């Protein structure tokens, strides 16, 4: 974990804080439990210090998933969080991250954007990747998965055959809207076609009752699914523990994992063998790092997931991921920018042949085209002044 506190000279006061709410379309609309998504939005945060060094962060709020809208995140950033950052003589990331919780509860996506931007700044000032600040690089590359919408095996096969030819070896099957018996057949058909050549994950996105989840787990008992993610509602922890005890398959917690305290409770109950970590949802790399530490202490593996993200969050997640020794052996979610019509960063160039390559550049390691950000912006603001 990040334990080295920077000296006062390592950081300079923040001179300017700007927010950009950006939007783009998906190349192919994405069918999830809550409906079909055609577009996505995020908030990019740009911090500039007194020496002219800039750092970028990203918030990925979603009312259906995080309980926070882009409008709410923009409001709390401009009116509360960023003015506090501007008032810090030494805006060291750990110190500021703790400060933010004293100002407003929740709003983890907004807080995570601030944390990402400050880590980006610190890395650039120290001329080191953020991963070095988080403990050191263990992986230079990681396999990448491709997500599949709610649908049938035939729908999946058309995408899988295309993406497997591009090097993708892991696939997440979104579930939760079709009858459970159909999903059991879907898994069987895909495994019969692809055998051991590919890896599959089943993600119900909280879409099942306990009885439906048990039916699914019984139906796929002999399968080779890498894990089954969030089969029931996020607060049904005892039920998740019961399901986990009833199946040889690994159960992953996604929506149930918010912070380190939630992670510890899940671990103690035996409700999950895998934690799905999302840098923005979990409040940035520093907080995600604490969740991963709890996982390691309990022998739980980590899966690096995403939230329909642009390149800044993807880069922040990667900087954390490459430091972890308890990653599960499956493709991780670093394909988000490949699914967008446009992204104002160069993160997509990191993903080649189904593999993401760690960037050894300073800070978050991703280049942001500010002119492109401004063209994409549907709203903007500076701390203390709306535009």
Q: For residue 238, is it within any domain?
A: yes
Give the residue numbers spanning the domain of 58.
8-129+369-386
Mean pLDDT in residue range 57-86: 94
| Rounded mean pLDDT, 281-298 | 98
pLDDT confidence band for 34 (50 / 70 / 90)? low
Residues 377 and 302 in one domain: no
Residue bearing the bigger pLDDT, 36 or 112:
112
- pLDDT score at 75: 97
Domain annotation covers residue 363: no
Does the pLDDT of residue 261 top 60, yes or no? yes
Computed over every residue of the chain, the mean pLDDT equals 95
Q: What is the pLDDT of residue 2?
A: 58
Q: Which pLDDT does position 11 carry in this prediction? A: 96
Asked whether residue 341 falls in the same domain as residue 378, the answer is: no
Tens digits of residue pLDDT in 40-49: 999 999 999 9
Residue 4 pLDDT exceeds 50: no
pLDDT of residue 13: 96
The count of structural domains within the chain is 2
CA 322 – CA 278 distance, rounded (Å)? 14
Cα 367 to chain center, whole Å?
A: 19
> Which CB contacts under 8 angstroms, 24+ apart, belong to 65-70?
65/255, 65/281, 65/307, 66/108, 66/109, 66/281, 66/307, 67/106, 68/106, 68/107, 68/108, 68/109, 68/110, 70/21, 70/41, 70/42, 70/43
pLDDT over 60 (residue 5): no
Q: Output the pTM of the full model.
A: 0.96
Q: How confident is the model at residue 59 (pLDDT cuts 50, 70, 90)?
A: very high
Same domain, 299 and 324: yes
In this model, does residue 8 exceed pLDDT 50?
A: no
Per residue in 295-338, pLDDT (tens digit) is: 999 999 999 999 999 999 999 999 999 999 999 999 999 999 99
Task: Kindly indicate the confidence band of residue 64, based on its pLDDT and cuts at 50, 70 and 90.
Answer: confident
* pLDDT score of 152 more than 80: yes
Distance CA 306, CA 292 (A): 15
pLDDT of residue 292: 98
For residues 377 and 353, state if they share a domain: no
Q: What is the mean pLDDT of residues 375-386?
A: 85
Same domain, 117 and 249: no
Residue 195 CB contacts under 8 Å (≥ 6 apart), including other chains:
none
Asked whether the predicted pLDDT for residue 276 surpasses 90, the reply is: yes
Q: Is residue 1 part of a domain?
A: no
Reply yes or no on whether the pLDDT at 6 is more than 80: no
| Same domain assignment for residues 44 and 185 | no
Assess if residue 362 is contained within a domain.
no
Measured distance CA(55)–CA(17) in Å, rounded: 10
The CATH number of the domain where 241 resides is what?
Answer: 3.20.20.120
* Same domain, residue pair 224 and 347: yes
* Residues 69 and 184 both lie in one domain: no
Please check whether residue 305 is in contact with residue 280, taking contact to mean a CB–CB distance below 8 angstroms: no
Instruction: Identify the pLDDT of residue 9.
Output: 62
Distance between CA atoms of residues 255 and 65, nearest Å = 8
Task: Examine the domain organization and report whether 139 and 59 are in the same domain.
Answer: no
Same domain, 240 and 219: yes
Residues 286, 122: contact at Cβ < 8 Å? Answer: no
Q: Averaged over 185-189, what is the pLDDT?
A: 98
pLDDT for 386 equals 39
**93 and 227 together in one domain:** no
Cα-Cα-Cα-Cα torsion 267, 269, 275, 276, nearest 10 degrees, comes to -140
The answer to whether the CB of 24 falls within 8 A of the CB of 340 is yes
The CATH number linked to 96 is 3.30.390.10
């Amino acid at each position: 974990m990040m334990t080295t506190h920077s000296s006062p000279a390592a950081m300079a006061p923040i001179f300017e804080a700007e927010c950009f709410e950006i939007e783009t379309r998906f190349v192919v609309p994405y069918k999830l439990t809550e409906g079909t998504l055609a577009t996505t939005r995020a908030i990019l945060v740009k911090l500039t210090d007194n020496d002219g060094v800039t750092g970028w962060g990203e918030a990925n709020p979603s009312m259906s998933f995080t309980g926070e809208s882009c409008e709410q995140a923009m409001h709390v950033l401009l009116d509360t969080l960023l003015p506090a950052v501007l008032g810090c003589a030494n805006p060291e990331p750990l110190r500021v991250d703790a400060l933010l919780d004293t100002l407003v509860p929740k709003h983890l996506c907004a807080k995570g954007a601030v944390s990402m931007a400050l880590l980006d700044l610190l890395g650039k000032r120290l001329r080191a990747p953020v991963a070095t600040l988080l403990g050191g690089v263990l992986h230079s590359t990681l396999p990448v998965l491709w997500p599949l919408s709610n649908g049938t095996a035939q729908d999946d096969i058309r995408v899988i055959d295309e993406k497997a030819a591009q090097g993708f070896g892991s696939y997440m099957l979104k579930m939760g809207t079709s009858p459970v018996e159909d999903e059991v057949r879907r898994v069987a058909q895909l495994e019969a076609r692809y055998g051991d050549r590919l890896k599959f994950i089943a993600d119900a996105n909280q879409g099942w009752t306990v009885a439906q989840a048990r039916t699914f787990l019984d139906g796929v008992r002999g399968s080779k699914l890498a894990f089954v993610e969030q089969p029931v509602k996020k607060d049904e922890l005892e039920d998740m523990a019961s399901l986990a005890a009833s199946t040889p398959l690994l159960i992953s917690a996604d929506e149930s994992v918010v912070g380190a305290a939630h992670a510890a409770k899940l671990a103690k109950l035996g409700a999950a063998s895998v934690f799905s970590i999302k840098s923005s949802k979990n409040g940035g790399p520093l907080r995600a790092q604490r969740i991963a530490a709890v996982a390691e202490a309990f022998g739980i593996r980590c899966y690096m997931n995403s939230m329909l993200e642009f390149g800044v969050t993807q880069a922040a997640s990667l900087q954390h991921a490459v430091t972890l020794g308890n990653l599960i052996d499956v493709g991780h979610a670093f394909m988000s920018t490949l699914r967008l019509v446009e992204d104002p960063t160069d993160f997509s160039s990191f993903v080649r042949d189904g593999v993401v390559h760690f960037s050894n550049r300073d800070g978050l390691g991703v280049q942001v085209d500010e002119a492109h950000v401004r063209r994409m912006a549907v709203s903007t603001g500076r701390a203390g002044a709306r535009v």
